[in-house]
Amino acid sequence: MKKKTVLIPALSGLLISTSILASHVSADEATTATTDGTPASSLVASTDAVTTEVTPTDAVVTDTASDATTEPSAESGSEQDTSAETQAAPETDVENAEVLTAVAEPETQATDEVTILHTNDIHGRIETGSGVIGMANLAGVVEEARSQGTTLVLDSGDAFQGLPISNSSEGEDMANIMNQVGYDAMTLGNHEFDFGLDQLKKLSEILTFPLISSNVYVNGARLFEASTIIDKDTTVEGDEFVVIGVTTPETATKTHPKNVEGVSFTDPITEVNKVIEQIEANAAAEGKTYNNYIILAHLGVDTTTPVEWQGTTLAQALAKNEQLTGKKVIVLDGHSHTLKSETFGNVTYNQTGSYLNNIGKVTLNSEKILSAGVITADEASSVTASESISKLVGDIQAKYAAENAVVVLDNNPVELNGKRENVRVRETNLGNVVADALLDYGQAGFTHKSNLAVTNGGGLRETIKKDQPVTKGDIIAVLPFGNIISQIEVTGQQIYDMFVKSLGSTLQEDENGQPILDENGQPLLEASGGFLQVAGVQVMYDTNLPADERILDISIWNPEDGYYYDLDLDATYYLATNDFLAAGGDGYTMLGGAREEGPSMDVVFADYLANVDLTEYEVVNPNSRTISISSELDTDGDGFPDYIEMIYGTSVTDAKDYPGASDEEEEDPDDTQVQSNQTVTVPVSYNNSVAPTKALTAGKATTTKALPATNSEDSMLAILLGMSILTYGAYGIRRKTYGK
């Protein structure tokens, strides 16, 4: 959209109306998957049947915090009980969640039954909370299973990084807890790299069980062992479990680039088959037979993941591997945060979702796989928690509380307002400074510089008070969900659709059903956790208009020259946000796609606060980035709406004031046109220290030769008619431009 196209018909309308008069002629909220209530631990997947995938028709990604009556859940945009009694609930960025379908229970069970308990994408859920099993209860489930028979405990990656309580020790506290639980093996997830390669190596040394991955190399050599063999009873031959690890190649872009310097990720299927071939060759040479294979995978089933890298694709490939014929093969997956169980021939696939909402459970005997499913948080709550791990968690909580008292900023000169009625309704100074922190990180933290940054208001949970020190605890209170910064590649159309969603809430009304207005006389939106706080973008919108027609103008920052340009629906932009929104949370399903990831948002925010002049954020509701304004407001009565004049940072009262138009009357129309590639730079009132000015790309505009004399009868009638044409023309052009 070219802004000049809005003014061209306006000016033309003035000319046409004058001409007509001279001739005396009148003349538009942790992805929460619902289930059918069937206890997941009762679900059975036999080797004879493939489970049916059922996608709930009412499954949505929402910000549950936009409705105070909803069940709390922990994610950037979700309601969460952050009290000491209740820890973070499950985040709602569960993607592609599926309901497991039960099949017949086996009539009998052999006495050599083995239970495999597994986890994936724990993401630092040390503490027990609403919907979160927690490590003490997990240990209780493990202890109970071991008391009943042979039990393996395995993890499919992304355990160490997540909530601030785990991040504070860079995963070391979680590693110590996993040791006490008694895990048998773990594979690498992409977020195992988030604290750097050196810290990952340190974590592997802390662990008392193998950290394995077959396809992760550093300078041509595997970073860790590709596999391990677990033998719970050395007196029995053929009951061993070969466990092979494999990690998503997406790790290269789903952690900070500096964390994987010199690290390469090879093709998962090729590498796993290569390891199987070597293991089988060694077994044959030693006269052994391995009947049980477990693949600990961190691959997932996201549609944005290349098909050849997906966990189910690996499972299907293994089902065709002749060396595995007649063997029991289990793929325990992670990465996509999906609740899924399925069989492919002799291969059973299982994934638990995420955040210790469930514990995976697979049972088998010497003959076949008996069942595959999950133990839910409700079921786990009936098990006695481990006393030793409960004590260890308590010690970690005390240490973490002391760390939260560390001062990040000696004195905060302004109140940074995080009240629900502000951050979920309109632009606030807290939203601006958090978004600026994301945009600032996005200038060097990713492969491409970020054009803009957004974060959902529902993820901002506390006000930072004025004239007081700012502690680490204060920052965690603002951003309590452990979200990480992500950058995704988006089109202009996706950006436009994103803001239609952000600004599409219903309007607040008083007891008489009348709209509640802000200080500028504009109707206020109802509180929504999905309302976006922004940086690097300027959006003008009119809440008087229908929800899908409110956007008047969008301009995007160009980090290369520091100017703002009209949104191009077909252009590519780089959006910095949190991982929740990047994955389509809060209903932002128009987003998603390939992304790069960085550190947790609280770390990014703390670093920014320590280096920025906060006096620039003194105004609580600046109305300078997401600008609520009437599309009809014309304060100076010149026939041009205020928002048009705001776009150009000047008063557009006649043709010569229009940027790029000729100051002199010319007989030759060609002499009165501005070249289409001409750029006119004007100041813009925008509280963003990164990019203070805006550039307008001028289109062709023809100036008038002569206007009616001021105050003449003809001039007044011409202006009235021209204003009518302006309103109709600008509205039509804008609808056409945005394809609405």
Helix, coil or strand: residue 77: coil
Position 584 scores a pLDDT of 85
Amino acid at 224: F
Strand order in the sheet with 221-222: 221-222, 216-218, 263-265
Task: Please answer whether residues 551 and 640 qualify as being in contact, where contact means their C-beta atoms are separated by less than 8 angstroms.
Answer: no
Question: Under the phi-then-psi rule, with left for phi > 0, alpha for psi from -120 to 50, and beta for the rest, what region is 378?
Answer: alpha
* Residue the block writes with tokens 């750097």: 196
Task: Please answer whether residues 32 and 62 qualify as being in contact, where contact means their C-beta atoms are separated by less than 8 angstroms.
Answer: yes
Q: Give CB contacts under 8 A, 24+ apart, made by 52-56.
A: 52/101, 53/98, 53/99, 53/101, 53/340, 53/342, 54/98, 54/99, 54/101, 55/98, 55/99, 56/99
Residue 431, both tokens: 């939203």
**Cβ neighbours for 733, distance < 8 A, ≥ 6 positions apart:** 5, 6, 9
357 pLDDT band, cuts 50/70/90, is: very high
Q: Is the pLDDT of residue 639 over 70?
A: yes
Q: Write the CA distances from 552 to 28, 640, 650, 683, integer angstroms.
A: 10, 14, 18, 19
| pLDDT, tens digit (0-9, with 9 covering 90-100), for 158-189 | 999 988 899 889 999 999 999 999 999 999 99
Position 105 scores a pLDDT of 43
CA separation for the pair 610, 367 (Å, rounded)? 62
CA separation for the pair 550, 535 (Å, rounded)? 20
Q: Of 700, 653, 698, give the one whose Cα is nearest residue 679.
A: 698
Residue 61, both tokens: 């990604």
Q: What percent of the chain has pLDDT over 90?
A: 62
Q: Quick one: the chain helix, strand, coil %, rounded to 5? A: 30, 20, 50
Q: Write the CA distances from 91 to 29, 77, 356, 711, integer angstroms.
A: 10, 9, 11, 64
Averaged pLDDT for residues 693-715: 32
Burial (CB count <10 Å: 0-12, 13-18, 19+), residue 511: exposed
Q: Is the pLDDT of residue 728 over 50?
A: no
| pLDDT, tens digit (0-9, with 9 covering 90-100), for 374-426 | 999 999 999 999 999 999 999 999 999 998 999 999 999 999 999 988 999 99
Q: Of 624, 93, 56, give the one whose Cα is nearest residue 353.
A: 93
pLDDT greater at residue 20 or residue 168: 168
pLDDT greater at residue 228 or residue 699: 228
Helix, coil or strand: residue 433: helix
Helix intervals (H) in 408-489: 420-423, 429-441, 472-478
Residue 332, both tokens: 């325990």
Task: Please answer whether residues 238 and 112 qualify as being in contact, where contact means their C-beta atoms are separated by less than 8 angstroms.
Answer: no
Task: Please answer whether residues 515 and 638 qualify as being in contact, where contact means their C-beta atoms are separated by less than 8 angstroms.
Answer: no
651 pLDDT band, cuts 50/70/90, is: low
**Cβ neighbours for 85, distance < 8 A, ≥ 6 positions apart:** none
Averaged pLDDT score across all residues of the chain: 79
Averaged pLDDT for residues 289-316: 95
Task: Please answer whether residues 43 and 349 qualify as being in contact, where contact means their C-beta atoms are separated by less than 8 angstroms.
Answer: no
Distance of CA 212 to the CA centre of its chain: 28
Averaged pLDDT for residues 212-229: 97
CA separation for the pair 127, 395 (Å, rounded)? 12
652 pLDDT band, cuts 50/70/90, is: very low
Q: Is the pLDDT of residue 15 over 80?
A: no
Q: Is the dihedral of CA 97, 103, 109, 112 positive or negative?
A: negative
CA separation for the pair 315, 296 (Å, rounded)? 11
Q: Is the pLDDT of residue 354 over 60?
A: yes
**Cβ neighbours for 440, distance < 8 A, ≥ 6 positions apart:** 608, 690
Position 208 scores a pLDDT of 98
Q: Of 480, 476, 498, give the one whose Cα is nearest residue 488.
A: 498
Q: Which of 357-366, 586-595, 687-696 has the highest mean pLDDT?
A: 357-366
**Residues facing 662 on adjacent strands:** none
Helix, coil or strand: residue 688: coil
Q: Is the pLDDT of residue 112 over 90?
A: no
Domains of the chain in start order, with CATH, are 4-26+632-737 (no CATH), 40-59+97-399 (3.60.21.10), 405-628 (3.90.780.10)
Compute the radius of gyration of the chain from its Cα atoms. 30
- Beta strand 227-230 pairing with 241-247: antiparallel
CA separation for the pair 301, 354 (Å, rounded)? 13
| pLDDT, tens digit (0-9, with 9 covering 90-100), for 23-52 | 333 333 333 333 333 333 333 333 333 333
Averaged pLDDT for residues 124-130: 94
What are the DSSP calls for 706-724, one per residue? -PPPTT-HHHHHHHHHHHH
Task: Please answer whether residues 542 and 550 qualify as being in contact, where contact means their C-beta atoms are separated by less than 8 angstroms.
Answer: yes
pLDDT greater at residue 133 or residue 649: 133
